[in-house]
């Protein structure tokens, strides 16, 4: 595999990468301060204690690339044939900040900065809003500002907020704002909360290697089983990393969910209008971030449908030209590949 990677659609499709991260200096400084003053949770100490302080090449290079929304990033997109990047403030955004006012400020300044950079490179960048779910009403207003004033096309939330999940009724204003704007919600991973991270951290499995996926898959499953899509039938939730493994689990999830509901085993587990598989096929969108692997991509297309799987690179965390080539050379019809690489993103982000 060694074909040249060019932008401009020479293979019959553009490449739109849908889970691309940036950071602000304020954000990194804030994480470092939390690591030092002991207010960071164990996941932040592990993840950002590493990226913000380690002299390892992976750490220093990723910080430098996260902070750049200018010429270097565009050059890297050109070199790997990425026509457009859908950008979001890197995880965990403003969500771990204990001071809600500071969290709102950090999120708002990141959104303003992103909007400026998108305006500077309109044909290459698309923005997603970041919020501070600690303040759901403010977040709802920021989602609307993102849609109406900043030109954003979606909203990214980095999984749990200080151990709380979006199925909690207090986050309902966020879902109302998503319904009002028609924006998709991208649930991006974060390190697991202190209540969950212990045995993972002990084994070095808390981060993107495993903990991210387990915790984010749990988050989506909590939302589905809480009936979120019965309350918001038009809501579209995106998740990366091949659906955080839920497509692989879904037969068993449906079997055991239905068994629990019928037996009335859990007070909160109420009957739903559809099966979990049906929600995956109507309300969930999946990206290939971090999973440039043909068997997983083809399997997921088969489970959720070829209209619901979208390409993502996960720059700068996983930046490899050969992973783009893996997508280019999938043994699927060109029409299906074009959906994967371009038109599904255009459709679901309304580009
Ligand atoms: C990592 C991976 C970090 C992903 C990320 O955000 C991230 C990592 C802090 O490798 O530490 O977005 N990822 O999505 O795979
Ligand atoms: Mn990511």
- Which two tokens mark 340? 């994967």
Q: Which ligand is nearest to the CA of 23?
A: 1
**Gap between the Cα atoms of 191 and 72, Å rounded:** 28
Higher per-residue confidence, 325 vs 1 = 325
The closest-lying atom of ligand 1 relative to the alpha carbon of residue 50 is 11
Q: How far is the CA of 84 from the centre of ligand 2 (A)?
A: 16
Q: How far is the CA of 263 from the centre of ligand 2 (A)?
A: 38
pLDDT at 9: 98
- For residue 47, give the ligand 1 atom closest to its CA: 11
**Main-chain phi, psi angles of 282, to 5 degrees:** -125, -25
Q: What is the pLDDT of residue 104?
A: 98
Using most ligand atoms within 8 A of CB, pick from 317, 318, 319, 323 the residue to mutate for ligand 1.
317
CA of 91 to the centre of ligand 2 (A): 7
Take atom 8 of ligand 1 and give the residue whose Cα is closest.
208
Predicted confidence (pLDDT) at residue 1 exceeds the cutoff of 90 = no
Model pLDDT for residues 115-171, shown as the tens digit of each residue:
999 999 999 999 999 999 999 999 999 999 999 999 999 999 999 999 999 999 999
Contact 104, 94 (CB under 8 A): yes
Residues with Cβ–ion distance below 5 A, ligand 2: 19, 314
Residue 68 CA to ligand 2 center (angstroms) comes to 16
What pLDDT, in 10s, does the model give residues 242-259? 999 999 999 999 999 999
* Residue 20 bridge partners (DSSP): 87
pTM comes to 0.98
Which tens digits make up the pLDDT trace of 186-213?
999 999 999 999 999 999 999 999 999 9
Ligand 2 centroid to residue 33 C-alpha, Å: 23
Going along the chain from its start, the domains and CATH numbers come out as 16-348 (3.20.20.140)
User: Which residues, 6+ apart, have CB-to-CB distance to 196 below 8 Å?
Assistant: 215
Query: What is the average per-residue pLDDT within 330-351?
Result: 98
Looking at every residue in the chain, the average pLDDT score rounds to 98
pLDDT at 313: 98
316 CA → ligand 1 middle, Å = 9
Mean pLDDT of 34-52: 98
Q: What is the pLDDT of residue 57?
A: 98
How far is the C-alpha of 219 from the C-alpha of 208, rounded, in Å? 15
- Hey, which of 207, 211, 212, 287 would you mutate to test ligand 1's pocket, going by the most ligand atoms within 8 Å of its Cβ? 212
Sheet holding 309-310, edge to edge: 16-22, 84-89, 125-130, 154-157, 185-187, 237-239, 284-287, 309-310
Q: How far apart are CA 167 and CA 185, in angstroms?
A: 13
Backbone torsions φ then ψ of 15, nearest 5 degrees: -110, 120
For the chain, how are helix, strand and coil distributed in percent, rounded to 5?
50, 10, 40
Atom of ligand 1 nearest to the CA of 240: 14
Residues with CB under 6 A from ligand 1: 21, 90-91, 189, 207-208, 240, 289-290, 314, 317
Measured in Å, residue 189 CA sits from the centre of ligand 2 at 7
């Amino acid at each position: 595999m060694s074909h040249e990677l060019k932008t401009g659609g020479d293979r019959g499709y553009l490449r739109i990468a849908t889970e691309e991260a940036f950071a602000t200096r304020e954000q990194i400084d804030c994480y470092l301060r939390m690591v030092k003053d002991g207010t960071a949770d164990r996941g932040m100490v592990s993840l950002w204690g590493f990226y913000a302080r380690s002299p390892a090449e992976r750490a220093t290079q990723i910080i430098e690339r996260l902070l750049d929304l200018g010429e270097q990033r565009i050059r890297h997109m050109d070199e790997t044939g990425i026509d457009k990047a859908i950008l979001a403030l890197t995880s965990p955004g403003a969500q771990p900040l204990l001071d809600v006012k500071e969290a709102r400020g950090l999120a708002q300044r990141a959104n303003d900065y992103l909007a400026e950079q998108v305006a500077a490179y309109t044909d290459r960048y698309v923005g997603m809003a970041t919020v501070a779910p600690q303040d759901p009403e403010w977040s709802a207003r920021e989602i609307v500002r993102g849609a109406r004033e900043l030109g954003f096309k979606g909203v990214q939330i980095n999984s749990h907020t200080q151990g709380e999940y979006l199925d909690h009724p207090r986050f309902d204003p966020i879902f109302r704002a998503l319904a009002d704007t028609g924006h998709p919600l991208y649930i991006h991973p974060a390190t697991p909360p202190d209540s969950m991270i212990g045995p993972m951290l002990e084994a070095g499995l808390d981060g993107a290697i495993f903990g991210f996926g387990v915790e984010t898959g749990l988050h989506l499953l909590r939302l589905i089983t809480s009936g979120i899509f019965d309350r918001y039938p038009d809501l579209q939730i995106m998740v990366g990393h091949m659906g955080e493994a839920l497509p692989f689990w879904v037969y068993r999830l449906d079997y055991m969910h239905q068994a629990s509901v019928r037996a009335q085993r859990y007070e909160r587990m109420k009957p739903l209008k559809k099966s979990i598989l049906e929600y995956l096929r109507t309300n969930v969108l999946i990206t290939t971030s971090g999973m440039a692997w043909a068997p997983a991509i083809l399997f997921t297309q088969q489970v959720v449908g070829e209209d619901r799987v979208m390409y993502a690179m996960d720059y700068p965390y996983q930046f490899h030209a050969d992973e783009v080539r893996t997508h280019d050379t999938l043994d699927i019809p060109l029409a299906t590949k074009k959906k994967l690489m371009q038109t599904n993103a255009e459709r679901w982000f309304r580009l």
